[in-house]
Structure 1
Amino acid sequence: MLKIHHLGRSQSERILWLCEELGVAYDLVRYDRDPVTILAPPDLRALHPLGAAPVIEDDGVVLAESAAIVEYVIVRHGGGRLRLGPEHPAYADYLYWFHFANGNLQPVVGRLMMVGRVGLAPEHPVQKAVQGRLDRVTALVEARLSTVPYLAGGEFTAADIMSVFSLTTMRLFQPIDLAPFPGIHAYLRRIGERPAYRRAMAKGDPGFAPMLA
């Protein structure tokens, strides 16, 4: 059976959610962050040279990187569901938004977090550049979600599973004001109504209320 190594309050929530949506059975091994460093504990770091979650084990395969794991699970265990193929009219949209999550959205939130820890003044050129990039990224997401219910278009896909963490749980580490974005707010409310999302969050982070507003 698929084994998911999940670090609490991390992007590995994507994999739990994916499996819940697909109805894929899995064993959950949950880890808590070090209370001082907020990093993964040694037993999780020992699973993979980069020491980060998520990590899965499946019939002798050990795989990291959330996007790679999502594609692997969809193909190996999900019958290809939740991804759009080349024949689908929204195929290009699906590809773009699936990769947008780790190519733009998550990195810019991470950069803002790192810059904030350095303590640069708001008018510092680096601080302004990173904030400006985040503003453009969130504006693009808002524009998209103001016209379609899900990132790939009319149907829920793995592109949504890849993206929601950066708009929700990641805000524990880097607060982002989403008040100016009604399209994103409505989208997150739709996500929060999904039973699979609620199950995944309850299993992966019991007692934690998803940051959907």
Structure 2
Amino acid sequence: MTIIVHHLENSRSQRVLWMLEELGLAYEVRRYARNPRTMLAPPELKRVHPLGKSPVIEDGGNVVAETGAIVEYLLEKGDGRLAPPAHRDAVLRHRFFLHYAEGSLMPPLLVMLVIGKLGLLGRPARPRIQAMIDTHLDYLEGELAGREWLVGDGLTAADIIMSFPVEAARMRGGLDARRPNLMAWLARIHARPAYRAALERGGPYSFA
């Protein structure tokens, strides 16, 4: 059965398309454009899920929202693909990154986005938020020392869910060549054929 992905342009849902490409699962993309004035999702998404957010997937009778929940759902369908190595340390590390991406790393990046829209009013808060982001980026730079991927020797769902906040950090969080491990990890992601195929299916995505 084909999975339907309700995909908002320039959003977290790009990761879902990439994961589906890596897993080789059949899917259909239903694209939604942001409101050009507010940059919010259109009201049509509320017909799919009451929160009106993206990503949302439909699979048979199941409607699944929230990126982390979708990633776990797709992992169950993946027959072990993109899962961590089957030992306790790797499983715990993988679980950590599945929650860390949206629970800890993304919030200060969202605050920085809001600060940027406030102009002079937001300027006093910028150094404090940047310091928070730097703490996360330094942590991740260390975690990738001597590693190509976040968990084990190959790509896992942890890398997929972490891709968007790190891309956002490169765009507005100060990530640059001063953190070569993170930049190399991001380059490996962007070079993957499945990532490129997902971009073609998903349409405009300014974070790549």
Q: TM-score, normalised by structure 2?
A: 0.89
Where do 5+ consecutive residues of structure 1 fail to align?
Answer: none
The question of whether the paired residues in 2 share the 8 Å contact of 1:201 and 1:210 is answered with: no
Match of 2:74 in 1: 73
SS at match of 2:4: strand
Task: Return the alpha-carbon distance in structure 2 between the equivalents of residues 187 and 23 of structure 1.
Answer: 22
The structure-2 alpha-carbon separation of the partners of 1:170 and 1:205, relative to structure 1 and needing over 3 Å to count, comes to farther
Which has the higher mean CA deviation after the structures are superposed, 3-12 or 101-110? 101-110
CA RMSD in angstroms, aligned pairs only: 2.1
Q: Please give the secondary structure, in 1, of the residue aligned with 2:92.
A: helix
Instruction: Tell me the TM-score normalised to structure 1 length.
Output: 0.87
Equivalent position of 1:161 in the other structure:
160
Partner residue in 1 for 2:199? 201
- Where do 5+ consecutive residues of structure 2 fail to align? none
Distance in 2 separating the partners of 1:199 and 1:17: 8
Contact conserved, 1:20 with 1:197, CA < 8 A, in 2?
A: yes
Q: Counterparts of 1:40 and 1:170 in 2: how far apart (Å)?
A: 22
CA contact under 8 A between 2:34 and 2:40: conserved in structure 1?
yes
CA distance in 1, matches of 2:154, 2:88: 12
CA distance in 1, matches of 2:121, 2:24: 46
Give the Cα–Cα distance (whole angstroms) in 1 for the partners of residues 139 and 160 of structure 2: 18
In 2, the alpha carbon distance for the partners of 1:99 and 1:63 equals 17
Matched pairs, number: 206
Asked whether the 8 Å contact 1:16–1:200 carries over to 2, the reply is yes
Please give the per-residue CA displacement for 1:71-126, whole angstroms capped at 9, x wherever unaligned: 01110x2113212266354222212222211121111211222233344464x3x4
Q: Distance in 1 between matches of 2:113 and 2:69?
A: 25
Q: 1:141-166 CA distances to partner (integer Å, 9 max, x unpaired)?
A: 11112221111142210001001111
How far apart are residue 7 of structure 1 and its match?
0.5
For the residues of structure 1 that align with 2:12 and 2:90, how far apart are their CA atoms? 25
